[in-house]
A and B are shown apart, each in its own frame.
Chain A
Amino acid sequence: MLRALTAAAAVFVLGAGVAFAAGKAEHPHDHAFSFDSPVGSYDMAAVQRGFQVYQQVCASCHSMDHLSYRHLGEQGGPFAAYMVRSHDTGEMEMVVRRPEHGGTFVDVTENPWVRQIASEQTITAVDPNSGQLTDRPGRISDRFRRPFPNEIAARASNGGAYPVDLSVITSARHGGADYIYALLTGYTGESQGLLYENPYFPGHLIAMPPPLGEGVVPYTDPNTPQTVEQYAADVTHFLQWAADPHMEERKRLGIVVLGFLLVLTALLYFAYKQVWRNESH
């Protein structure tokens, strides 16, 4: 009996191990993001830091084809600039955060931060004078620089694996932001050949090496910890914004529309009752 039991236990353990290697991805646990609730908004400082992480880590392999640099400075973007009156001097000044009240939005074509970010990029494009592909500094209307000219080149440089486009990645994965965060922080440290173990990835083996490490991206703000968890949370925040840049506007407008519809429906209800008050039905 004991023998049978141990045998069964051994089978169970082995079975579980095999199931682990071939089976379903682990369900990502809930990570608290500021955009989760129906009235939640983006933490723009986190989105800015997340953009930095994307630029310095992810962008060497992953494209974001549907975003242009100008998107960063449009209304609801992490680098949107506003003219506000300074508390100290009383002068109008341009700031790169959403003012708590007041402030006039500065059109993205006038936004120095976004111009700066774009001009730091080297974009390969057709030169209008020579007709040849040449490198030039980026403009705000340029799309995010692609690390590889096409999928074949991307696969060739990554051992056959294709680093997916990240423009809408949080929409394109079950679990959304929670999944991305879990994946980035879920590496077990084991690897099999060129594949790395990660229980959140379907099949548990992912071709992407652990991208984040302690201190790999230097943050300017000394109060923000430079840990894998912080980097992962920030870059996830950025990717969520990238996939759903109008979320704040959507939620704000939603409150107005729903409030209006509630009032209208109540009025319609009374009107309906009024019409039918002398009719039996």
Chain B
Amino acid sequence: MAEAAGDAHAGDESTRRDFIFIAAGSAAAVGAAATIWPFINQMNPAADTRALSTTEVDLSAVELGQQIKVMWQGKPVFVRHRTAEEIAAAQRDDFANLKDPQADADRLIQEDGQAGQPEWIVLQASCTHLGCVPTFAEGSAFGGWFCPCHGSDYDTSGRIRRGPAPRNLDIAPYVFTGPTAIRIG
């Protein structure tokens, strides 16, 4: 819009005008930005989902050499009762050439920082490659888990030994609540 060029107050006028437009525009922009937040945040896990974050597991029925699969946060978790041979194999390989070096004992540490028990290992049952569920022993050259999707091979401590997976199987945060009971999460 053209302003009258000869107007003595043209300068003041246009400053005032600009101020109002800029103020109104900024306020509207702030309002729009603030309005967007609830619409983004609503897709985050809802309160009921977040509260389902703990799972209690009774281990008394799990025989030596067996493992159970429990659900935690909608995902499977392996709780394995390891045999003496498995424990020995895991500890022996602490110093092997590992892609993601970690000692077996460190992988047993509970959520509260206490040391775990070598017989029990609690792993998130999703391959760190693309999330498939590995199977125990079948096809594994290291006596541990083998992922059928793309051939990632994990040892008896759940460490990645061969294949495309970049990291060891994640440890699920757990604590012993009794001699044969744990709480995950």
- Taking CB atoms, residues of chain A closer than 8 Å to B53 are 109
Q: What size tier do the contact residues of chain A reach?
A: 20 to 34
Stretch at the interface among B21-29, B95-103, B124-132: B21-29
- A265-281: CB near B (< 8 Å → 1, else 0) gives 00110110010000000
Known contacts A108-B51, A109-B54, A139-B54; decide if A271 and B61 are in contact (CB<8 Å).
Answer: no
Task: Give the distance in Å from the alpha carbon of A231 to the alpha carbon of B124 in the complex.
Answer: 49
Instruction: A141-B52, A268-B28, A270-B24 are known; give 20 further A-B pairs, CB within 8 A.
Output: A68-B51, A70-B47, A70-B48, A70-B51, A109-B50, A109-B51, A129-B58, A129-B61, A139-B56, A141-B51, A260-B30, A261-B31, A263-B27, A264-B28, A264-B31, A267-B20, A267-B23, A267-B24, A271-B24, A274-B20
Contact check, B48 vs A267: say whether CB atoms are below 8 A apart.
no
A140: interface (CB < 8 Å) = yes
- Taking CB atoms, residues of chain A closer than 8 Å to B70 are 128
- Taking CB atoms, residues of chain A closer than 8 Å to B51 are 68, 70, 108-109, 140-141
Contact check, A271 vs B48: say whether CB atoms are below 8 A apart.
no
- Nearest chain B CB to A107 CB, angstrom units: 8
Task: Give the distance in Å from the alpha carbon of A70 to the alpha carbon of B46 in the complex.
Answer: 13
Contact check, B47 vs A264: say whether CB atoms are below 8 A apart.
no
Task: Give the distance in Å from the alpha carbon of A271 to the alpha carbon of B21 in the complex.
Answer: 6
- B36-62: CB near A (< 8 Å → 1, else 0) gives 000000000001101111101010010
Contact check, B47 vs A74: say whether CB atoms are below 8 A apart.
yes
- Taking CB atoms, residues of chain B closer than 8 Å to A263 are 27
Listed by A's residue number, 20 A-B pairs whose Cβ atoms lie within 8 Å are: A68-B51, A70-B47, A70-B51, A109-B51, A109-B53, A128-B70, A129-B58, A129-B61, A141-B51, A141-B52, A260-B34, A261-B31, A264-B28, A264-B31, A268-B28, A270-B20, A271-B20, A271-B21, A274-B20, A274-B21
Residue of B nearest to A114 (CB): B51
Task: Give the distance in Å from the alpha carbon of A268 to the alpha carbon of B48 in the complex.
Answer: 42
Which are the 3 A-B pairs with shortest beta-carbon distances? A267-B24, A70-B51, A141-B51
Task: Give the distance in Å from the alpha carbon of A129 to the alpha carbon of B61 in the complex.
Answer: 8
Task: Give the distance in Å from the alpha carbon of A71 to the alpha carbon of B31 in the complex.
Answer: 31
Interface positions, chain A 84-143, Cβ under 8 Å from B, are: 108-109, 128-129, 139-141
Task: Give the distance in Å from the alpha carbon of A167 to the alpha carbon of B22 in the complex.
Answer: 48
- Nearest chain A CB to B142 CB, angstrom units: 30
Task: Give the distance in Å from the alpha carbon of A267 to the alpha carbon of B30 in the complex.
Answer: 13
- Nearest chain A CB to B126 CB, angstrom units: 20
- Nearest chain A CB to B169 CB, angstrom units: 22
- Taking CB atoms, residues of chain A closer than 8 Å to B47 are 70-71, 74
Residue of A nearest to B30 (CB): A260
- Taking CB atoms, residues of chain B closer than 8 Å to A271 are 20-21, 24
- Nearest chain A CB to B62 CB, angstrom units: 10
- Taking CB atoms, residues of chain A closer than 8 Å to B23 are 267
- Taking CB atoms, residues of chain A closer than 8 Å to B92 are none
Contact check, A268 vs B24: say whether CB atoms are below 8 A apart.
yes
Task: Give the distance in Å from the alpha carbon of A13 to the alpha carbon of B20 in the complex.
Answer: 71
B17: interface (CB < 8 Å) = yes
